[in-house]
Each structure stands twice: as C-alpha cells, then as structure tokens.
Chains A and B, each alone.
Chain A
Amino acid sequence: MAQPLIQARGLVKRFGDFTAVDGIDVEVCAGEAFGFLGPNGAGKSSTMRMVGCISPPSAGQLRILGMDPVRDGPAIRARLGVCPQLDNLDPELTVRENLTTYARYFGIPRRVARARAAELLDFVQLSERADSKVEPLSGGMKRRLTIARSLVNEPDIVLLDEPTTGLDPQARHLVWERLFRLKRQGVTLVLTTHYMDEAEQLCDRLVVMDGGRIVAEGSPRALIERHSTREVVELRFAADSQEAFAGKLTGLGERVEVLPDRILVYVPDGDAAVAEVAALGLHPTNVLVRRSSLEDVFLHLTGRTLVD
C-alpha cells in the first residue's frame, strides 16, 4: 500500500482540562473519501483543525503528506483545500474576488487566479453571481463558494467540515454531486458529517467518533453489517406507551429498541418479521420495513441521548 497521506497515532487535543480528541489512530490514503462521523462535540472539528495544520496537537503523532504539521505548516497547507464548518468568506470582497484573493495567498499568479476563479465559479454554478457581494448570497451559495475557494490551489487533499449542514435538499444534492466529481478526479476527500446519508453517499471508509474517541471504523456497508441487521421493522401502536407492546415482541429479531413513539425491531428479513408480529395477534397502526442504514449504526454506537 502507498504511503498514507494522513497518518495519526494516538492523536490528542486538549483545551485546558477538556480533552476534545482522546488518542485516535487514523490513516487516509490517496484518492480515498474518508469520513469522520459523530454527534456534536465528538471531536471531529478539532481533528480536522489539527489535520489542517491550524491547531497544534497536544500529544501523539501526526504526519500530513509525509510532513510534520507544526514544522512544515506552510508547505502542507499549500497542498490542502479547507472548507471550514462556518463560512469565513471575505465580506468586503465580491464572489469572484474571494477566489482570486485567496489564490494570491497561495502565491498563484494573477492571470492564473482569474482563469481558475472563472472555472471554479462555473463548477459550483455561481458564475452569474461573480460580481455580487458575499453577504446577500444564500447559505447554499456561500457554502458552494467556500468549497470553490478550497479548490483554488488545486489541492491534493480537501478537508470539508460538515459541508452540507444547514443546506436545503437541492443545495445538498448539488454539493454532493460536485464532491463526487472531485472524488472521480482522484482528489482525496476528508469530511466530517452527522448526516448518515451523506456519509453513505460519499465515503469509501469512515470512523465513528464519540467523546473524542473512535468507536468504529470501516466502509459504510461493513459498519452496517457489523453493528446492525440487514433490515429494520418500525412498528407504531395506537397507545400512549409503546412499552406495553414491547414485552410481547421479545425474541423477535436480533434486537428490539423502544422509542417514545415507535418500536424498532432489527431483523435479517423484514417481511417475515411482520408476519410473525401478525401471528402474535398484534395490530400496529403503522408498519414500515426498511433497509438498515448508517443511522442505525450511529445511534446504536453513540446513543440516543441529545448532546449539546
């Protein structure tokens, strides 16, 4: 296997007494689309900032493109594209100027910068807004511009921290489609997300983080197979409490999970399980058989408790 582009061993990030990243091992290879999945506060963004060489690790080893992020920061950053969680576009510049000015930070000649800005605006479908200020743009447009900006230096690795958070479905699909194209061009993508569909769509391989640690690792498919069943049956009963019915379902499938409004039954064969439920003389008001998703894995691994 080729030398990994990103290599972390026992990577730790502390802020005072708080440990945001608690000793993680990660390897990302060239051409891969790699995801950090986890609830808020899992340490995803802190990890991304360390990989982006703008946050020195508190402990552990980190090599990016074979270099040391603290000593070789500028040389590494020259080959990274970063799309941060919060857009930090330049509000005093136009859409186009945001790209050309950013290119100048990388030492790209003006003529090349102008040509590349035009290409990228086309790529993210913002050519018509090229001379508009940034402020009146919609959230989705700003995100697309930030993604375009992260590509201005033709990076080897693109870091995307929650690239589609807060976007409407149309904007999300457009961003996904563009990221998919980049992936096909051989660009290495590293992204964080808490959207399962995003991870399933984009990532070849991912790690699930919780409380600063990695709790699972693999391809989306492998994770589902390892941590969930093939299908899930969702049952809804016409009663205030679903608990009463849950007792009657014990033994059905591999696992039964009771939620306030419905019961989830994890089974290899959904239709067979529905037949069994009927045979037990139970009549749920609503039955849904679906394939198990990364969301099931995620909730199973990181719990349903709300994290703020």
Chain B
Amino acid sequence: MVTLVLPRLVDVSAASRRSASVTERNVAALKSVYWLLLVSGFVEPLLYLLSIGVGVGALIGDLTLPGGEVVTYATFVAPAMLASSAMTGALAETTFNFFGKLKYMKLYDGVIATPVQPFEIALGELAWAMLRGSAYSAAFLVVMVAMDLTTPARALAAFPAAVLVGFAFGALGMAISTFMRSWQDFDLMSSAQFVLFLFSGTFVPAEAYPTVLRWLVEATPLYRAVHLIRGLTVGTTDWGWLLDVLYLLVVMAAGLLIASRRMSRLLYK
C-alpha cells in the first residue's frame, strides 16, 4: 500500500514545488514600475464604490433585499465591487500578462525545457495572480470595514470567498488566453467583462430583471461571485452560497484543465 501511494505523493510535492518556482519567477520580476499597475487595480473599485455606491446611493436611499434585510445602497454595492475587483485583478494577470509571456515573450518555451510541465506553469501563474488579487481584496475589505459597510468578522469570512472568486476567474482567463490569436481578441474579452460587471446583480438586484433574463444573469460566474460575497458581508443566511462555491470551484478546475491542455498543445510542438 505504501509503495503504491508514495510515488504519487512524491509526484505531488515535486509538482507543487515546480509550480512554486513559476510563482517565484514573478516575484523576482516585480519591479518598481509594476507597483503603479498594482495600485491602480485597487483604486478602480474604490472609485466605483465612492461614486456609485455612496454618490448615487444618496439619491436612491435604502434597499430591501429579497431576504427582507434593509441596507444602504453602498452596503449593497460594496460586495459587488469586491467581487468584480477580485475578477479584474485575476484576469489582468492571467489574460494580458499571461498571453504576453506565452506568445510574445516566449517565456514558457524556456521553462518547458526544464522539468516544469504546462500544468505546473498554469498553476504557478494562477497562484501569482491570486497573490495579487488577494492583496486587492484584503485592502478593499479593510475599506469596507472602515466605512461601516460590513463588520470585521464578516469581512474575515468574505476574504477566502474573494480569493476563491479570483482563482475561478484567473483559471477561466488563462483558458481563454490560450485561444487568443492576437491582442485584438482581448477587446472582445474586455467587452464581455464589462457586460458582466454591469449586469451581474452588481448595481441592481437580479430579482428586478424579467424572469428569463434573471435566469441568464444568475448563470454567469460574476453573479455567483457577487451573490456569495454579498451574502457574507451583508449577513443574509440562506444556503445559496453552497451552490456559488461549487460553481466557482468547477469553473476553476475546468479553467486550469483547459489551460494546461492547450498549453501542452501550443508548447510541445
């Protein structure tokens, strides 16, 4: 039994060690100019929160959620901004940056000549994207607590959820990037991302949409992400979050699988 299991364990540890080396490379490449980029990823959702959540929210007043809770508009919008910033942060790294490394920098052509395999590259890049995304999420949650939009305990619960959201979108973005032919294709992706941002129950409860449209919205990944995080930061108590978590885990696994398969095909020519 031991002999059967042991090689696999060794393999897993070698694989995670190799993934970590890919993450490590990004830490080494992190230079001063990049910090500006990193900061912008945090500021953007904050501006949305202030302008729409607080600004427009002043005109709207309080909102009654489907569960019966009455909340300020900013409280309603803030978790959606957190979810979408987790999405954007992860996507920025696993689409633009990842595609650049794959197609133009030819970075992975050098990496595959070592023991590191495509799946491990995908996992390592995703982990890196998540380091970045998690930093945004943590900072945003601190702001939410400071603005009294959630409690510290709820913020702590929402953090791992935001990390999961990042993992799911990061993996998805990586899978999509392997199909991209040129930078132009990313315009399509940006448009899709923006549509998701506007209509995923972010600014308006999905219940306000006509039935068919509502089903459609509820099937999108960002809706599941917003639903999950809002449930946690506002404190609604139903079991719908289980479905959200399951959905995001499936997206993450599928994304990683597709990304590493496609990378194998692109790199092992």
Binding site for B on A (CB under 8 A): 15, 49, 52, 54-56, 73-75, 77-78, 80, 82, 84, 86, 88-93, 97, 100-102, 104-107, 149, 153
Nearest chain B CB to A88 CB, angstrom units: 4
By CB atoms of chain B within 10 A, which of A54, A56, A90, A106 has the most?
A90
Nearest chain A CB to B101 CB, angstrom units: 9
B113/A90 in contact, CB under 8 A: no
Partner of B21, one of A55, A82, A105: A105
B107/A101 in contact, CB under 8 A: no
The residue on A at minimum CB distance from B112 is A54
Partner of B14, one of A77, A80, A97, A107: A107
B267/A93 in contact, CB under 8 A: no
Binding site for A on B (CB under 8 A): 14, 17-18, 21-22, 24-25, 28-29, 31, 105-107, 109-117, 267-269
A54 to B107, CA, bound (A): 14
Given contacts A97-B28, A105-B18, contact A90 B114 (CB under 8 A): no
B105/A82 in contact, CB under 8 A: no
Nearest chain B CB to A16 CB, angstrom units: 11
B110/A90 in contact, CB under 8 A: yes
B113/A82 in contact, CB under 8 A: yes
- A86 — which chain B residues lie within 8 A by C-beta? 106
A97 to B21, CA, bound (A): 13
Nearest chain A CB to B226 CB, angstrom units: 34
A241 to B18, CA, bound (A): 64
- A74 — which chain B residues lie within 8 A by C-beta? 14, 18, 115-117
A52 to B28, CA, bound (A): 27
Ordered by A's residue number, 26 sampled pairs between the chains whose C-beta atoms are within 8 Å are: A52-B113, A54-B113, A55-B268, A74-B116, A77-B114, A77-B115, A78-B115, A80-B113, A82-B113, A84-B113, A88-B109, A89-B110, A90-B29, A92-B31, A92-B105, A93-B28, A93-B29, A100-B28, A102-B110, A102-B114, A104-B21, A105-B18, A105-B22, A105-B111, A105-B114, A107-B18
A207 to B140, CA, bound (A): 63
A75 to B112, CA, bound (A): 12
A86 to B113, CA, bound (A): 13
Partner of B106, one of A49, A73, A78, A88: A88
By CB atoms of chain B within 10 A, which of A77, A92, A149 has the most?
A92
The residue on A at minimum CB distance from B110 is A88
The residue on B at minimum CB distance from A92 is B29
Nearest chain A CB to B25 CB, angstrom units: 5
- A105 — which chain B residues lie within 8 A by C-beta? 18, 21-22, 111, 114-116
A107/B21 in contact, CB under 8 A: yes
The residue on B at minimum CB distance from A76 is B115
- A88 — which chain B residues lie within 8 A by C-beta? 106-107, 109-110
Nearest chain B CB to A242 CB, angstrom units: 45
A88 to B21, CA, bound (A): 18
B106/A101 in contact, CB under 8 A: no
B17/A107 in contact, CB under 8 A: yes
Nearest chain A CB to B75 CB, angstrom units: 41
The residue on A at minimum CB distance from B115 is A74
Partner of A90, one of B14, B17, B21, B25: B25
- A100 — which chain B residues lie within 8 A by C-beta? 28
A89 to B31, CA, bound (A): 17
A90/B115 in contact, CB under 8 A: no
By CB atoms of chain A within 10 A, which of B18, B29, B109, B110 has the most?
B110
The residue on B at minimum CB distance from A97 is B28
Given contacts A89-B110, A90-B25, 7 further A-B contacts (CB under 8 A): A49-B269, A54-B267, A73-B115, A74-B115, A74-B116, A93-B29, A105-B111
- A102 — which chain B residues lie within 8 A by C-beta? 110, 114
The residue on A at minimum CB distance from B34 is A92
